[in-house]
Amino acid sequence: MRVVIVAVGTRGDVAPYTGLAARFAQEGHEVAIAAYRPFAELVTSAGAEFVALPGDPRSATSWTQVQHGSKIGTGPLGLARLMRLMTEEMVELAEAIRLAACERADVLLLSMPATLGYHVAEHLGLPSMGVFLQPAFPTAEHPPSLLGFGRSLGGLGNRLAGHLVLGSMGAIFARAIKAVRARLDLPALSPAELTRAMSAWPVQHGYSPTLLPRPRDWRQGLDVAGFLWPAPDPAWRPPRELLEFLDDGPPPVYVGFGSRVFGDAPRLSRLVDEALAAAGVRGVIQAGWADLRARSTRSITIGEAPHSWLFPRMGALVHHAGAGTSAAGLLAGRPTVSVPVLADQPFWASRLTMLGVGPKPVPHRKLTAERLAGAIRAAIGHQPYRERALELSARLRAEDGAGQVVAAVERLVRTAAADPRRQS
């Protein structure tokens, strides 16, 4: 079986699929990952073929950075620019997916930002499946992950908000979908027709039911498989300076904000250093795309480092509560201070607090050195946080998200092969 995975987004949106690709390879399947060019080495180090998608995820005007909070203007002119940007990017993206799939694929797997590939699969007559890293479908059991906060609105409110978010996304993407379907010579679909067409589309969710159980009111075909862990890079070695720093004192606190691009990195770096000093702890500060820098001898600045290696060596974690980073922190069994910025981060931050692995989140917009220091002291000093984190870590290690996704894809391809409509 030839599998093409389309992973649109930043590093945290791509890394989980490398572990899934490795699992497909172990089962004897050929696998390629289509992603942005900066993640070519990330993909190939996992043993998968890399296919480049057009665009630069670091560009302030890219759809990826728009999702992550980049400002391209407000009001009618800003909205018009956003619509034009998305339409142009989505048409280019669809063509890149088509080229990757028609040359390599028996099945197409799509991250949530790559759902446009559904239309490419229809055009090519290929089976496809969503493999999402966050919940995307309405439910009474929790609010939409992309609403920007984690507080429940009650059963009815959660469902209504979920439909509102889906409807808003559909309206934003309608122009791009129309352009893509026309280019692929597919019939135009109204929003209602598209909803009906995709009503049986299978989606596996690559997060743990330990973190967020499958809602009981989801339709058949929407499943929660478990976390997809990034494949280890066999060539990575910890820098000597980092090893020496770790050996030179008690376990430090990790601070990192992933692929979020901030415009105030010097101020944020000072704030982090002040908070670590006030909490009386050492720090390992990951520069990330925010370009954070340690400004005292109590801390060290590092580049990319596998969370699976780094996090177990920390005393506590401070991060933006992205889905992948939250998962890695839970697996490491370390208390967490969440500093959510936007998108689904407040949702996951709220879940971490509800699970009892750390204090209440400190939203980035309210972040001060004093608040961050207080949260770090709580994370380090409250033993139940560590005990709960270790308990959840043991439960996660018993799950097999990648195995469940592989099995689901194999069933999908067998069913599609047996469908006489695909053989005519």
pLDDT digits (tens, 9 = 90+) for 357-393: 999 999 988 999 999 999 999 999 999 999 999 999 9
The pLDDT assigned to 82 comes to: 57
Mean pLDDT computed over 291-319 = 90
185 and 280 co-located in one domain: no
Whether residue 159 has pLDDT greater than 80:
yes
The pLDDT assigned to 14 comes to: 94
368 and 404 co-located in one domain: no
The pLDDT assigned to 72 comes to: 44
261 and 125 co-located in one domain: no
The pLDDT assigned to 274 comes to: 93
The pLDDT assigned to 424 comes to: 42
Classify burial at 384, counting beta carbons within 10 Å of its beta carbon; exposed 0-12, middle 13-18, buried 19 or more.
exposed
387 and 309 co-located in one domain: yes
204 and 249 co-located in one domain: no
Residue 304 lies in a domain: yes
Compute the mean pLDDT over every residue in the chain, rounded to the nearest whole number: 88
Interhelix angle 75-104/154-183, rounded to 10 degrees, is: 70
Give residue 185's pLDDT band: very low, low, confident or very high (50, 70, 90). very high
Mean pLDDT computed over 107-112 = 96
CB atoms within 10 A of CB 293: 16
306 and 360 co-located in one domain: yes
Range name among 175-179, 251-255, 405-409 with the lowest pLDDT average: 175-179
275 and 206 co-located in one domain: no
If one compares 166 and 423, the residue with the highest pLDDT of the two is 166
166 and 280 co-located in one domain: no
Mean pLDDT computed over 334-344 = 91
pLDDT in tens, 17-74: 999 999 999 999 999 999 999 999 999 999 999 999 998 776 544 555 454 444 444 4
The pLDDT assigned to 76 comes to: 46
The pLDDT assigned to 151 comes to: 83
Could you tell me the residue range of the domain that residue 94 belongs to? 2-227+399-423
Residue 232 lies in a domain: no
Tell whether the torsion through CA atoms of 367, 368, 374 and 380 is positive or negative.
Answer: positive
8 A C-beta contact, residue 65 and residue 59: yes
The pLDDT assigned to 118 comes to: 95
Classify burial at 267, counting beta carbons within 10 Å of its beta carbon; exposed 0-12, middle 13-18, buried 19 or more.
exposed
Q: Report the share of the chain in percent with pLDDT over 70.
A: 90
The pLDDT assigned to 70 comes to: 45
Whether residue 292 has pLDDT greater than 90:
no
If one compares 25 and 89, the residue with the highest pLDDT of the two is 25
Give residue 165's pLDDT band: very low, low, confident or very high (50, 70, 90). confident
pTM: 0.90
Q: What is the DSSP letter of 315?
A: S
Residue 235 lies in a domain: no
157 and 211 co-located in one domain: yes
Whether residue 331 has pLDDT greater than 60:
yes
406 and 386 co-located in one domain: no
255 and 374 co-located in one domain: yes
Domain count within the chain: 2
How would you list the strands of the sheet with 222-224, edge to edge?
Answer: 49-53, 30-36, 2-6, 107-110, 128-132, 203-205, 222-224
143 and 26 co-located in one domain: yes
Residue 233 lies in a domain: no
Which CATH number do you get for residue 206? 3.40.50.2000
pLDDT in tens, 113-134: 899 999 999 999 999 999 999 9
